[in-house]
Amino acid sequence: MKPPPIALITGAAGGIGETLVHTFGAKGYRVWALDCVAQPDHLVCDRYWQVDLDWFVQDEDYRSRQLADLAQAAGTQGLDALINNAAVQVMGGVDTLTTADWHLTLNVNLLAPFLLTQGLLAPLAATGGCVVNISSIHARLTKPNFVAYATSKAALSGMTRAMAVDLGDRVRVNAIEPAAISTPMLKAGFESHPEQYAALARCHPQGRMGTPTEVAALALSLVSGELRFMHGACVGLDGGISARLHDPS
pLDDT > 80? residue 208:
yes
* pLDDT, tens digit, 9 for 90 and up, residues 94-130: 999 999 999 999 999 999 999 999 999 999 999 999 9
Q: Give tens-digit pLDDT for 147-190.
A: 999 999 999 999 999 999 999 999 999 999 999 999 887 887 78
CA-angle at 248, arms to 245 and 249, nearest 5°:
85
Q: Measuring CA to CA, which residue among 88, 148, 141 is closest to residue 113?
A: 88
How far apart (Å, rounded) are the C-alpha atoms in residues 216 and 197?
A: 22
247 confidence band (pLDDT: 50, 70, 90): low
CB–CB of 101/92 below 8 Å?
Answer: yes
- pTM of this structure: 0.96
Q: Is 18 helix (H, G, I), strand (E, B) or coil?
A: helix
Cβ atoms of 57 and 113 closer than 8 Å: no
Beta strands in 129-244 (DSSP E): 130-134, 172-178, 234-237
Let me know if 75 is exposed, middle or buried by CB neighbors in 10 A (0-12, 13-18, 19+).
exposed
| Neighbour tally for 238: CB within 10 Å | 23
Which one of 29, 48, 62, 149 is the catalytic residue? Answer: 149
Q: How far apart are the first and last CA of the chain?
A: 63
Nearest to 239 by CA among 182, 189, 193: 182
> Could you tell me the pLDDT band of residue 32, with boundaries at 50, 70 and 90?
very high
CATH class of 6-181+212-243: alpha beta
Tell me the domain boundaries of the chain. 6-181+212-243
149 an active-site residue? yes
Q: From CA 16, how far away is CA 186, in angstroms rounded?
A: 11
Output the CA angle 138-186-203, nearest 5 degrees.
60
